[in-house]
Structure 1
């Protein structure tokens, strides 16, 4: 017994189209599911259009927000770059000032080696104190250049004063006049070594071996460089209208009259020429025409 398959018949709509009575009728079949799908095909493009339209609007708003945020970030970056540039410039200026201060401080230390004892030791730079409510950062940024300039000016003033003092000291006989350190006879009353009578010693005697170097006590001009009576071979230097120095009993004279000498220059050698009992340097400081005790001047920086 054979089973017959039933053919699946599609449900269709038959559509007749007639243009006139003289022409045959046109007929075609349209499945029902296609007819039902027509509204879907019509609605889908509009739905997609609506969707993409709103998607585009959302993207536009998001893009605007991102652009605004980017602009803000660019502005912040530019502001930070300006701050960094300002800080770099400030730091660079501060470093230059610090280098200048280091140079000035070195000069001050050099001059301090020649300062007299009667100047009280002091230090530090006085700066005005503001008791306002500025923040620590604001004060640092706003005052660093002012403070460094103030420090430089203070240092320069100090150096100018020290230079003036140092210029004066150049012509005051404060240098020890020889490598000799043993004082064999002081300034003032003593017993004359030749007569054993009381006498007045007008200088100070420094005992040392023959040939020990002798140095100028200050800057000045040589006004005598020859054998000078009881002083033997002697040198006299005029330092100013106030001071002269005399170096006696030398074994060697290394300068001539008219020579310009600097404090500490070698001018001769210790000997025992003239009225002397042994090799030594007779050293005198003459102030306003009168001999004075040389030791306070020789010991000026000790």
Structure 2
């Protein structure tokens, strides 16, 4: 009750203003009782609001511009960081790609060693060659800081490496072309060697005679294949040879396949290495089903077995 009395006395002592409002002479008058303290407080709040609004009208646009500028700078910095990271990723990908190329070259060189690329293609004269790409040391296992220098090193090494590789490929292509015309493909994939090249006891007469080829025995119509690319120059019956196929492979090599039961080619026909040309038989002067196989080098019979085992 004391607080209520004090508040009532304060209101009685406080100076108050009366505001009268009317819209015309005949209309009623509205009266508003307003304390002086409340008026000052309201006025001060209104003044502060106006000042804040004026200040904000000047500073807010500037702050917005600064915010947009900072946002743009952050975007640019983020983009630069992403570009730098992408550059490093690209370097790493290029380095990995180059390393992969180097590894392929190494693997290829190992394959050449396994293939014994230096084996003479001219089997009897021993003409041979050597080659293969020079493989640089591993220069890719590096940190990011070392990558540019290592990349430069790889870039310096690779042109020579690629050139050596191309030379090796050219050599292999020539080598393959020569092999295609060289009778190194076995004339049959089945059977057993029953008579070798050279002097032997003739199975029909029992006398010693020179055997100009080799005999391979298997079952009737076992497939017979061309030993190399070439042109058929004979396909028919030839006396004691029975049904025979003759193929010219090059100016150097010719082959003969005798005692066949079937002939699948004709004179003038081009054949490829490994192509089926007939079936094994026992026609002509023969004691059983077998293939008599001869190779001529520069017109002279040579041992077919060393050609058949060329890749062994």
Q: Which bin holds the TM-score, normalised by the shorter protein?
A: 0.5 to 0.7
Alpha-carbon distance between aligned partners in 2 of 1:73 and 1:48, rounded to the nearest angstrom? 35
Alignment match, 1:249: 259
Cα shift at 1:90: 7.9
TM-score calculated relative to the size of structure 2: 0.65
Of 287, 297, 310, the residue aligned with 1:277 is 287
Contact 2:140/2:147 (8 A) holds in 1: no
Aligned residue runs from structure 1 range 12-161, under 5 A: 34=36, 59=60, 62-80=63-81, 82=83, 118=119, 125-126=135-136, 129=139, 135-136=145-146, 138=148, 158-161=168-171
Asked whether 1:199 is paired with 2:209, we answer yes
Aligned pairs (5 A) from 1:198-237: 198-237=208-247
- The DSSP-based 3-state class of the residue aligned with 2:234 is strand
Give the distance between the partners of 2:253 and 2:13, measured in 1 at CA: 143
Max Rg structure: 1
Equivalent residue number for residue 23 of structure 1:
none
- The C-alpha deviation readout for 1:55-93, integer Å capped at 9, x for no partner, is 566645643542232011221243356457768988999
Counterpart-to-counterpart distance in 1, 2:183 and 2:10: 139
Q: What is the number of equivalent residue pairs in this alignment?
A: 275
- Is residue 95–residue 140 contact of structure 2 (8 Å, CA) maintained in 1? no
Contact 2:224 2:278 in 1 (8 A): yes
> CA separation in 1, counterparts of 2:252 and 2:297?
5
> What SS does the corresponding residue of 1:281 show, helix, strand or coil?
strand
Q: Secondary structure at the match of 1:301?
A: coil
Q: Is the 8 A contact 1:125 1:154 kept in 2?
A: no
Say if 2:301 is the partner of 1:295. Answer: no
d(CA) in 2 for partners of 1:189 and 1:221? 30
Q: 1:263 is paired with a residue of what secondary structure? A: coil
Structure with greater contact order relative to length (CA < 8 Å, sep ≥ 6): 1
CA contact (8 A) 1:116 1:301 kept: no
Q: Cα offset for 1:185?
A: 0.4
User: How many Å apart are 1:127 and its aligned residue?
Assistant: 6.3
What value does the CA root-mean-square deviation take over the aligned residues? 5.2
Of residues 267-276 and 139-148 in structure 1, the stretch that sits farther from structure 2 once superposed is: 139-148
Gaps of 5+ in 2: 1-8, 16-34, 121-129
Contact preservation (8 Å) 2:133, 2:164: no
TM-score by length of 1: 0.67
Shift of the 199–46 alpha-carbon distance from structure 1 to 2, 3 Å rule, reads same
Cα deviation for residue 41 of structure 1 reads: 8.5
Which residue is 2:274 aligned to? 264
Q: Which runs of 5+ in 1 are unaligned?
A: 1-6, 14-32
